[in-house]
Structure 1
Amino acid sequence: MATARARLLLRSFVFGFFTVILAVEGVARASTGPVLTVPVSRPELGLSCYAAILMEWQSGKILYHRNGFTRMHPASLTKIMTALIALERGRLEEVVQVSEEAASQPGSTMYLREGDKFTLEDLLYGLMLNSGNDAAWAIAEHIGNGDPREFFRMMNQRARQLGAINTRFSNPHGLTDPNHYTTAFDLALITRTALKHPFFKNLVATKEKDVIDARGDKTISLYNTNKLLWLYLGTDGVKTGTTEAAGQCLVASATRNGMRLLAVVLASGDRWSDAAILFDYGFSQWRTEKILDAGERVTTVPVRGGIKAAVPLVLEDDIVVCVPRFSTGLRVELDIPEKVRAPVARGAIVGRATAYLGSEPLVSVNLLAEEWVQTLTPLTLLAHAGALISKLLISFSLY
């Protein structure tokens, strides 16, 4: 399909420090989806950890990394994926009976006993606040229909779907195993997805919680191990992890002025300080901007052989970018065909909108046909004419 060569100025937006130009660009580009960019240079932040990632949550842009793609032991950060699978495949009101194997898991605990019955919701609180290994195993057995290995398969399958290709899970809690590993980057990907779930977002921001078993005769008080919730303004999650092999680990989320950052620190000497340093850097040096809204009409494309001469195009998702705080030169370009052939289905992908900072692509979003355009035939022409006449008659009847 031929593409337009002309660059047509459609509109201009002024946002304080920069001007955004929305243009039609006919030069063909590969439609690769959101663009992953890794900083070319890294500032020296004085971190104590071996591996770290700082990611802007909405765009997924990496703002900083140190050994971010090196395989590491995740410890209890594993439980972020355990919670995600439970939320995607289970129901919060389901009642889970604790097995002997679940109750006897070593390490951190929410103090479950064999035969206890708790809702999946309460077990998730025990999993993410107290970091209960017993809760993790009980969840794995429940979601895996009695087979925790089936749950591990679900975890690994979901990791691959998210692009966490350097991750492998062999248990639901993170106790050390040579075949159980991940990277700081993969953990950021997993957490980014989990935080899109409203319950997970509230769960990891909870500081303390009392849960009551299904019989109503046992109450367990839970306390969040993530001290950053008290130490750093704006912190709203996520999870700690500690083993001898992994050292101090933390995935943390903080939000200020509408920008949410994810910090991952692995094998840290002081995880609270490392996370705070990453957040300070992110909030002081970067900003997010929503340029255009999902569903917003941005242009039209001529239709060949259609009942209508053109079809309007709308954005499938918001165009949100994360850029250096005082940068300028932000623009959006459209990659669209010169014409499309009827019929055109509503919601069909017709082109792409890509945000750039200078020559750097930041994010790319599909452009969708806003409405159906049928092929022009005598029958469709007659039906279209009849619809127009009906509208005119209704309009005249109102006067």
Structure 2
Amino acid sequence: MSAPKNIARRSLLVTSAALLSLSVTALAARGVPRLSASPTATPPAHMSTVGGERLGRPGIQVNIAPGLPVLPRNLTARSWLVADAQSGKVLAAHNAHWRLPPASTLKMLFADTLLPRFPKDTRHKAEPSDLAGMGAGSSVVGMKQGHTYTVHDLWLGVFLRSGNDAVHTLAHINGGVQRTVKDIQAHADELQALDTHVVTPDGYDEPGQFSSAYDLTLFARSGLQKKDFRDYCSTVSATFDSREIRNTNRLLSGDTDVPAYQGIVGVKNGDTTNAGATFAGAAQRSGKVLLVAVMHPTKREHNEVYKEAAKLLDWGFQADGKVNPVGELVSPRSAIRSSTPSSKPSATAGSRSGSLSTAAAIAGGALAVFGLAVFLIRRRWPL
């Protein structure tokens, strides 16, 4: 690429980064209070407006125009969202900020929080206390007390089999379940996932635990920045305790009535009594990367959540680049803070010190914006 084009591209990126910072801050400021007492039976009339005013409205939000593909029929999910992972544009949504039980899709947030903390070859002997406190009927990978596992083994159990036993063991390695819940909640706050209230690290049904399709998409987008996260969530099968385990994400591993989805990257599925079936996925085709989140289809057919997610992804690949977005996926708070200069030059300093202070402030502001620009470049999805 020629030098003038490089300069123009950098200039455009810095300008876009600054504008994004201002717009995201304004959107977050307009959001509704962080928590409600419990998920509602029907979508509230007013929901969070993080990511855009239209995302706070109940019902389907999409900009219809001549020549655009029609949204799939017979979508029964209480809430769903489809977005361009690279630009962050929300292409269409339905009750995007409705706070609902997340089931095991919450494990995406758990993994995004803890994955960087422990080397994969760290070994841990399973103790009775590690496996205590799991909800009745929890999904498990089949850990055995007294057996020694690597952290790598445990993450395979989390991603492939949605093993609550592996989640609780990793939580104990992290200092305990309660500390881990606080860490996960803090990371949700950092991602501006303001619909999410964490009670358990594994997503098991508990009073007051909920998230939203919008927040699940933020979790998936953030997690996929990490190579280990991408590797685990895209693994179809692996060996655990000398036996094969297969990924329960049917768009990845396939099933009798659902073929593996073309270009699927991951990410995570879930299913509990209160949450119903939930799913957040990512797929890549022809240089485009899309994210989809689907929560609680009311149609009770086998694998319905995957069928509806596949329909939305198909629509998204046809509509991306043609449809005007209805909102955006916001950036983490740290990216916004890094774009705001922390100090101003002193008005009472002498001419020399004043010049130096001004230069330092300008340089600091440029570095801060550059930091956000680097963040945005990294979000161009090295999948």
| Superposition TM-score tier, normalisation by shorter sequence | 0.5 to 0.7
1:115 to 146, 157, 180: 146
Task: Please state if 1:280 is matched with 2:303.
Answer: no
**Using the alignment, how far apart are the partners of 2:13 and 2:111 within structure 1?**
43
**Secondary structure at the residue paired with 1:50?**
strand
**Using the alignment, how far apart are the partners of 2:108 and 2:318 within structure 1?**
28
Q: How does 1:117-132 map to 2 (within 5 A)?
A: 117-132=148-163
**Using the alignment, how far apart are the partners of 1:92 and 1:72 within structure 2?**
33
Task: Please state if 1:180 is matched with 2:197.
Answer: no
**Using the alignment, how far apart are the partners of 1:134 and 1:160 within structure 2?**
26
Structure with max Cα Rg: 1
Q: Which moved more, 1:44-53 or 1:69-78?
A: 44-53
Q: How does 1:231-250 map to 2 (within 5 A)?
A: 231-250=260-279
**Secondary structure at the residue paired with 2:284?**
strand
**Using the alignment, how far apart are the partners of 2:214 and 2:20 within structure 1?**
25
Change (3 A) 1:247 1:352: same
**Using the alignment, how far apart are the partners of 1:121 and 1:54 within structure 2?**
31
What TM-score comes out, normalization by structure 1 length? 0.63
Output the aligned Cα RMSD.
3.3
Give the superposition deviation at 1:280.
0.8
Amino acid at match of 1:83: A
Task: Please state if 1:90 is matched with 2:124.
Answer: no
CA offsets 1:92-140 (integer angstroms, 9 cap, x no match): 2212232324435342111011222211111000011011111111111
**Using the alignment, how far apart are the partners of 1:274 and 1:53 within structure 2?**
11
2:80 to 37, 43, 52: 52
**Secondary structure at the residue paired with 2:234?**
coil
Q: How does 1:60-209 map to 2 (within 5 A)?
A: 60-103=88-131, 105=134, 106-143=137-174, 145=175, 147-209=176-238
Contact 1:259/1:287, CA 8 A, preserved across alignment: no
Give the superposition deviation at 1:341.
4.8
- The answer for unaligned runs of 5 or more in structure 1 is 1-9, 14-20, 212-217, 289-304, 307-339, 354-363, 367-399
**Secondary structure at the residue paired with 1:222?**
strand
**Using the alignment, how far apart are the partners of 1:70 and 1:201 within structure 2?**
27
Percentage of pairs with the same residue: 27
**Using the alignment, how far apart are the partners of 2:89 and 2:141 within structure 1?**
35
**Secondary structure at the residue paired with 2:206?**
coil
**Secondary structure at the residue paired with 2:262?**
coil
Larger relative contact order (Cα-Cα within 8 Å, sequence gap ≥ 6):
2
Change (3 A) 1:253 1:22: closer
**Using the alignment, how far apart are the partners of 1:142 and 1:55 within structure 2?**
35
Give the superposition deviation at 1:248.
1.1
Contact 1:103/1:113, CA 8 A, preserved across alignment: no
Give the superposition deviation at 1:224.
0.1
**Using the alignment, how far apart are the partners of 1:23 and 1:133 within structure 2?**
42
- The answer for unaligned runs of 5 or more in structure 2 is 28-50, 56-60, 65-69, 255-259, 323-350, 375-383
CA offsets 1:286-313 (integer angstroms, 9 cap, x no match): 149xxxxxxxxxxxxxxxx99xxxxxxx
**Using the alignment, how far apart are the partners of 2:185 and 2:367 within structure 1?**
34
Greater helix fraction, Structure 1 or Structure 2: 2
Give the superposition deviation at 1:72.
0.4
Task: Please state if 1:32 is matched with 2:66.
Answer: no
**Using the alignment, how far apart are the partners of 1:200 and 1:24 within structure 2?**
29
Match of 1:314 in 2: none
Contact 1:94/1:119, CA 8 A, preserved across alignment: yes
Change (3 A) 1:207 1:11: same
**Secondary structure at the residue paired with 1:129?**
helix
